[in-house]
C-alpha cells in the first residue's frame, strides 16, 4: 500500500508505464478562481498583443530586438551602450520572481506565465469548444478516424495554426519592431523572404508547443519550474491539500450519505478524483507539493464544488503553507524574505539612479587602431580617431560639433565639422585632434572633449592622445 502511494515519486504524471506520453485530458475547470484567472488572462492577453504596437514619445512600448541589441521597456529605449541597465532590470526581474516564489510558490506560473495563459485560456478553451469536455475528448481520442473525428481534428488544428501564426507575428513585432513588421506585411512576403521563413518557423514552434508539447514545457523544459525545489520551504504559500483534514486518522474514503465521517475517523476527502481529473499537468495534489504543479488553482475550484455538494467546509485544497496545515501557523515575513526584499530595494534604487544619470546622447571617441601620432609643422601633434554618437531620443539632434575642453587645440572632422544625429540613430565618422606639443604632458595624455548641439554642451567624453616620448 505504502509502495503504491509513493509511486508518484518514480514517474511523472504525463508518462505511462511503457515510458510513452500519457495524454492529459483535464476536465474543464469552473469556479471562483477560474473566473478570476479568466479576468487576469483577458487583461494580460490584451497587454501582450498590444504592447509592441503601443508607443510612448514615439518609442515602441515593449521591444526586445536582440539582433540589433536594442530594447524598449515601457517606452524607455535601451541601446547596446545601456546594456548594463538592461542586465540590472533583468536581475531585478529574477529577484522579484524569486521573492514571490519564496512567499507565494508558483503564483507566477498559474496566473501570469504566457505559456499557461495561452495554453489554458486560449488553446484549451478552443479544444473544449470543439471536442467537448474530458469524457468527450477521451472518447474522441479512442474512436476510429470517422467523418466526425476528421472534421473536429482538422478544424481544431487549423484554428491552432492560425492562432500560432498570429502569436508568431506579435512575437516578431517584439523582436524586430512593429513598424518594421507592418512595413514588411505591406511590402509582401516575397520582398522579405528570410523574415517570412523565420515567421513560419516561429509559427511551427508555437503550434508544436500548444498543440502537442503542452504541459511538458512546465514539467520538463522550463528552468523556473525546476528551481522550485530550492525556492520553496515550509512557509511558502502554495496550492496545497490539507492532508490533516482530508486524511484524518483513517484516511480518505468514498462518500456515503448520512454517514458521520468524523465519528468513524475518516477525513473529509471523499476520494472523488475531481481534483486529479481537472489537473492540466495530470498530478494528484493529495500526494503533496510536486514539481509538476503550476498552481493553476483548478483543483481548488473542483474540490470546493465537491465540498459544497457533500456539505463540508470548502478549502480542503487551498492556498496554504505546510506550516499552516501542520501547525496552523500564520504567514510570516521570514529572514529569507527580508533578505530578498533588501536586495530588491537596493537593485531598484541603483537602477533608478542609473536611469536618471543616463544621457540622451552618448559619444565614444577612440583612437584609430594601429595608427601613431603625426608630428606636424609648428610642433603640432595630430592623432586620428573614430567617433560614434548615439541619439537615444525620438527627435533629431542638429548642429553637433566637438570641442576640446582640457587642452588648447583643434578638432576637425574628415567630412563636415557639424552634423545632425537623426532620432534613434547612430552617426559615426573619423576626426583629427591637433594639439601643440608644448601643451602636452608626456607621451600619453587624456583629453576631455565636449559634444555640443549649437552652443549647448550635451555630453562630455574623453580620449587618449599620444605624443612623442622624446619631447617630454
Ligand atoms: S495540482 Fe492543482 S494547482 Fe497544481 S497544476 Fe494540478 S490542478 Fe493546478
Ligand atoms: S476533489 Fe477534494 S474530495 Fe475529491 S478527491 Fe480531490 S481532495 Fe478529495
Q: How far is the CA of 273 from the centre of ligand 2 (A)?
A: 6
Predicted TM-score of the model (pTM): 0.80
Give helix 83-104 / helix 335-357 axis angle, nearest 10°: 160
Output the CA torsion 173→176→180→184 (10° steps).
Answer: -80
For residue 3, what pLDDT is reported? 47
Task: Report in angstroms the alpha-carbon separations of 196 from 17, 200, 305, 394.
Answer: 42, 6, 48, 29
Atom 3 in ligand 1: residue holding the nearest Cα: 295
User: How many angstroms separate the CA atoms of 70 and 413, rounded?
Assistant: 28
Protein residue with its CA nearest to atom 8 in ligand 1 = 296
**CA-proximal residue: ligand 2, atom 6 (nearest):** 275
Q: In order of start, what are the domains of the chain with their CATH numbers? A: 11-230 (no CATH), 233-327 (no CATH), 361-471 (2.60.40.10)
Contact residues for 2 (Cβ-Cβ < 8 A; gap 6+): none
Residue 295: the pLDDT is 94
pLDDT value of residue 472: 45
Nearest to 102 by CA among 281, 332, 347, 348: 332
Q: Which ligand is nearest to the CA of 294?
A: 1
SS3 68: coil
Whose CA is closest to atom 1 on ligand 2?
Answer: 303
Per-residue pLDDT, 10:
67
State how far Cα 23 lies from the chain centre: 27
- Show the ligand 1 pocket: residues with CB < 6 angstroms: 239, 278-281, 283, 285, 293-299
Per-residue pLDDT tens listing for the chain (472 residues): 444 555 666 667 788 878 888 899 999 999 999 999 999 999 999 999 999 999 988 889 999 988 887 888 888 788 777 777 878 888 888 888 887 788 888 888 999 999 999 999 999 999 999 999 999 999 999 999 999 999 999 999 999 999 999 999 999 999 999 999 999 999 998 999 999 999 999 999 999 999 999 999 998 899 888 887 788 888 888 999 999 999 999 989 998 888 888 888 899 999 999 999 999 999 999 999 888 899 999 999 999 999 999 999 999 999 999 999 999 888 777 787 788 788 878 888 888 888 777 777 889 999 988 888 999 999 999 999 999 998 888 788 999 999 999 999 999 998 877 889 998 888 999 999 999 988 888 888 999 999 999 999 999 999 999 998 754 4
Any alpha helices (H) in 218-360, and if so which ranges?
A: 223-226, 228-231, 243-247, 261-264, 274-277, 298-309, 322-327, 335-357
Q: Cα separations (Å) of 442 from 391, 437, 438, 439, 471?
A: 35, 9, 10, 10, 7
Are 353 and 364 within 8 A, CB to CB?
no
Residue 339 Cα to ligand 2 midpoint, Å, equals: 37
Q: Ligand 1 mean position to 269 CA, how many Å? A: 16
Q: Hey, whose CA ends up nearest to atom 8 of ligand 2?
A: 269
* Nearest atom of ligand 2 to the alpha carbon of 317: 7
Res 8: pLDDT: 61
Whole-angstrom distance, CA of residue 237 vs CA of residue 229: 14
Cα 240 to ligand 1 centre (Å): 9
Using the mean position of ligand 2's atoms as its centre, give its distance from the Cα of residue 106 in Å: 21
Amino acid at each position: 500500500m505504502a509502495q503504491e502511494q509513493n509511486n508518484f515519486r518514480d514517474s511523472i504524471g504525463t508518462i505511462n508505464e511503457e515510458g510513452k506520453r500519457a495524454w492529459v485530458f483535464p476536465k474543464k475547470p469552473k469556479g471562483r478562481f477560474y473566473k478570476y484567472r479568466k479576468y487576469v488572462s483577458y487583461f494580460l492577453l490584451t497587454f501582450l498583443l498590444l504592447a509592441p504596437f503601443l508607443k510612448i514619445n514615439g518609442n515602441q512600448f515593449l521591444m526586445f530586438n536582440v539582433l540589433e541589441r536594442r530594447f524598449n521597456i515601457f517606452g524607455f529605449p535601451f541601446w547596446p551602450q545601456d546594456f548594463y541597465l538592461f542586465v540590472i532590470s533583468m536581475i531585478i526581474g529574477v529577484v522579484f520572481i524569486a521573492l514571490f516564489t519564496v512567499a507565494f510558490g508558483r503564483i507566477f506560473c498559474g496566473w501570469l506565465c504566457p505559456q499557461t495563459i495561452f495554453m489554458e485560456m486560449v488553446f484549451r478553451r478552443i479544444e473544449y469548444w470543439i471536442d467537448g469536455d474530458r469524457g468527450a475528448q477521451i472518447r474522441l481520442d479512442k474512436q476510429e478516424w470517422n467523418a466526425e473525428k476528421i472534421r473536429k481534428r482538422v478544424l481544431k488544428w487549423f484554428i491552432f495554426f492560425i492562432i500560432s501564426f498570429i502569436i508568431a507575428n506579435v512575437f516578431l513585432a517584439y523582436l524586430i519592431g512593429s513598424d518594421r513588421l507592418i512595413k514588411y506585411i505591406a511590402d509582401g512576403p516575397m520582398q522579405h523572404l528570410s523574415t517570412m521563413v523565420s515567421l513560419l518557423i516561429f509559427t511551427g514552434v508555437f503550434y508544436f508547443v500548444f498543440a502537442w508539447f503542452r504541459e511538458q514545457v512546465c514539467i520538463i523544459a522550463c528552468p523556473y519550474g525546476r528551481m522550485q525545489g530550492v525556492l520553496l520551504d515550509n512557509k511558502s504559500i502554495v496550492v496545497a491539500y490539507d492532508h490533516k483534514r482530508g486524511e484524518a486518522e483513517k484516511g480518505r474514503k468514498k462518500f456515503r450519505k448520512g454517514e458521520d465521517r468524523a465519528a468513524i475517523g475518516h477525513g473529509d476527502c471523499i476520494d472523488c478524483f475531481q481534483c486529479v481529473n481537472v489537473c492540466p499537468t495530470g498530478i494528484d495534489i493529495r500526494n503533496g507539493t510536486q514539481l509538476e504543479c503550476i498552481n493553476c488553482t483548478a483543483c481548488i475550484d473542483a474540490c470546493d464544488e465537491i465540498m459544497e455538494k457533500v456539505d463540508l467546509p470548502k478549502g480542503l485544497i487551498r492556498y496554504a503553507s505546510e506550516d499552516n496545515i501542520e501547525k496552523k501557523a500564520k504567514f510570516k515575513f521570514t529572514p529569507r524574505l527580508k533578505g530578498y526584499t533588501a536586495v530588491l530595494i537596493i537593485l531598484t534604487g541603483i537602477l533608478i539612479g542609473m536611469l536618471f544619470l543616463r544621457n540622451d546622447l552618448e559619444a565614444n571617441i577612440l583612437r584609430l587602431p594601429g595608427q601613431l601620432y603625426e608630428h606636424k609643422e609648428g610642433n603640432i601633434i595630430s592623432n586620428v580617431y573614430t567617433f560614434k554618437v548615439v541619439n537615444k531620443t525620438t527627435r533629431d539632434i542638429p548642429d553637433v560639433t566637438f570641442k576640446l575642453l582640457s587642452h588648447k587645440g583643434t578638432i576637425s572632422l574628415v567630412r563636415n565639422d557639424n552634423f545632425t544625429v537623426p532620432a534613434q540613430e547612430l552617426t559615426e565618422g573619423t576626426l583629427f585632434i591637433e594639439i601643440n606639443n608644448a601643451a602636452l604632458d608626456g607621451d600619453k595624455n587624456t583629453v576631455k572633449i565636449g559634444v555640443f548641439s549649437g552652443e549647448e554642451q550635451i555630453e562630455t567624453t574623453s580620449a587618449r592622445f599620444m605624443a612623442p616620448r622624446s619631447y617630454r
